[in-house]
Amino acid sequence: MNHAAGEASALAQEFVQFAIESGVLRFGEFKTKAGRMSPYFFNAGLFDDGAKLGRLAQFYAKALMASGIGFDMIFGPAYKGIPLGAAVSVELARLGKNVPFAYNRKEAKDHGEGGTLVGAPLKGRVLIVDDVMSAGTAARESIALIQAAGATAHAVAIALDRQEMATEKQADGSTQDVPHSAVQYVRHTLGLQVCAIAKLEDLLAYLGKQGGSELGQHLPRVQAYRDQYGV
């Protein structure tokens, strides 16, 4: 493992620990949007105080700086992406990379400056900051907004890559598993670079180090889920 990969792996392990300690990453039985029963659940909305949000932004900023992905500004998609994008742009500026920040609102405003976009004008290579990527649907919406403004959707930063098969709605309304993950879809089909602070394999590695502790007992179920739905 080279030095950069080693640093990324250490950062990912540290992030998994932080997410578990913050109660953001939980274990049990959770139904995903795709209708699967998942043995773990990640809810970035629970980074819900100043200290946690600040620390989360540090992880994003460090992962982005280490990724080597170039970008000219940050876009935070409504709603979760708004505080995330703002916090990450503050942290990047603290590290010496000061870039403009914009976000959208779900409802167009008909007074004041109007429109759905707020903040800096969208231009250049835009980095989208979000929490997780489930179907790539939200990414497509952000890309359309960015392109409509004449800018380039260049990359996406997320906290956790679940590394599992995405699902697609069929003509009859049912959903079907597809052989790629949402992250792979965004990378290969939409052509965006993706920076994830941690992946499911990092969570498995972390649980594998917990031995016979209470945390370590979740490993078989998370591994079984990865074996069934992983890509």
Residues designated catalytic: 109, 111
Is there a cis peptide before residue 79, judged by omega within 30 degrees of 0? yes
**Tell me, what amino acid is at 72?**
D
d(CA 85, CA 76): 5
Token pair for residue 78? 């409504």
Token pair for residue 161? 């890559």
Q: What does the angle CA 100 – CA 105 – CA 109 come to, to the nearest 5 degrees? A: 110
Token pair for residue 34? 């795709």
Of residues 142, 138, 186, 183, the one with CA closest to residue 161: 183
Q: Kindly state the DSSP code that residue 18 receives in the 8-state scheme.
A: H
Token pair for residue 129? 């900051």
